[in-house]
């Protein structure tokens, strides 16, 4: 799974051990970027209080 977003310098950054076969975290960098944009749009639709809560809770800056 050479083109997985989580593989950095031959190691998996999503899991403790690199076990690519059947990994449910596998996605390409393009897929990850698309999901992140979808998430940003969804959060932007929320009220300011909820957006601030999410930003604080998940340290999104």
pLDDT of residue 54: 92
Spatial separation of the C-alpha atoms in residues 43 and 35, rounded to whole Å: 12
Q: What is the pLDDT of residues 9-61, one digit of tens each?
A: 989 999 988 888 889 889 999 999 999 999 999 999 999 999 999 989 988 76
Spatial separation of the C-alpha atoms in residues 9 and 14, rounded to whole Å: 13
- Structural domain tally of the chain? 1
pLDDT of residue 61: 60
- Residue 14's domain spans which residues? 7-57
User: Do the Cβ atoms of 34 and 27 come closer than 8 Å?
Assistant: no
Residue 37 lies in a domain: yes
pLDDT of residue 42: 95
Residue 17 lies in a domain: yes
**Residue 37 CA: distances (Å) to CA of 5, 18, 22, 44, 54:** 15, 27, 25, 11, 16
Residue with tokens 């390409």: 28
């Amino acid at each position: 799974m050479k083109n997985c977003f989580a593989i950095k310098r031959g190691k998996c950054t999503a899991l403790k051990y690199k076990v690519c076969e059947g990994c449910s975290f596998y996605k390409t960098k393009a897929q990850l970027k698309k999901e992140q944009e979808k998430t940003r749009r969804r959060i932007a639709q929320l009220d300011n209080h909820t957006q601030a809560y999410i930003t604080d809770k998940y340290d999104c800056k």
